[in-house]
Amino acid sequence: MRIIRERLGATGHEGVESEVLERLVHSSGDLSIAPDLRFSAGACQRGMAALASGAVILTDTAMAAAAVAPMAGRTFANPVRSILGWAPALAPAGGTRSAEGMAAALAEHPQAVVLIGSAPTALERLLELQQPASLRAPEPSLALSPALVIGMPVGFVGVAESKRHLAGSGLPQIRLEGSKGGAGLAAAAVNALLRRAWLDRS
């Protein structure tokens, strides 16, 4: 971590935001992540408060859930669930299993900490559900208020667009711009928050 800090130099991030960045670099070996990392105001603090209160952590893949569960178990015992546990066996016409799983998972856990490292369609569905009812297609009524959205889907199809939509959503968020991301990075971000919240507990 000392080597990472020295090589990163001044990043404009301080405190827990710096710790998140360092964990992302540690997980990826990629110092070029730094300019692409974005935090909404107070996002880390809101996320840590939710995690410390035992909030459910929803992930878009089983891989991300497996990467978060050990740290959650050592700290606040947060339930860690993949949205695929709510997904239908087959994708609906014109949709994806991840998007359907996200809608169903949020119906049960509307104030979860949400990690998205692979599925931009799941991120887009979350954002659709967050819109006022008058602006979206008919959906079950949700008091949707995620404690934090970690938006780091990886790839080149719909990824950058979903992140731009997240940026304009007003939701508490940590995101990586562009095509970078993945389950490991999304998990590293929430693990950094869990670790800091645990160390800061009174």
Full residue range of the structural domain in which residue 96 is found: 2-200
What are the tens digits of pLDDT across the range 39-70? Answer: 999 999 999 999 999 999 999 999 999 999 99
Answer yes or no: 165 catalytic.
Answer: no
Q: Which of 50, 191, 46, 176 is nearest to 118 (CA)?
A: 176
Cα dihedral sign, 177-182-183-185: negative
What CATH number did the domain enclosing 94 receive?
3.40.50.10230
Q: Considering the candidates 13, 26, 109, 165, report the single residue annotated as catalytic.
A: 26
Which stretch of 9-13, 95-99, 142-146 has the lowest confidence by average pLDDT?
Answer: 142-146
pLDDT computed for residue 134 by the predictor? 41
Q: For residues 148 and 94, what is the distance between their CA atoms, to the nearest angstrom?
A: 28
pLDDT tens for each residue of 106-123: 999 999 999 999 999 999
Q: For the chain, what is the domain count?
A: 1
Q: What is the pTM of this model?
A: 0.92
Phi, psi for 168 (deg, rounded to 5): -90, 5
Report which DSSP code applies to 199: H
Query: Looking at the predicted structure, is the pLDDT value of residue 137 above 60?
Result: no
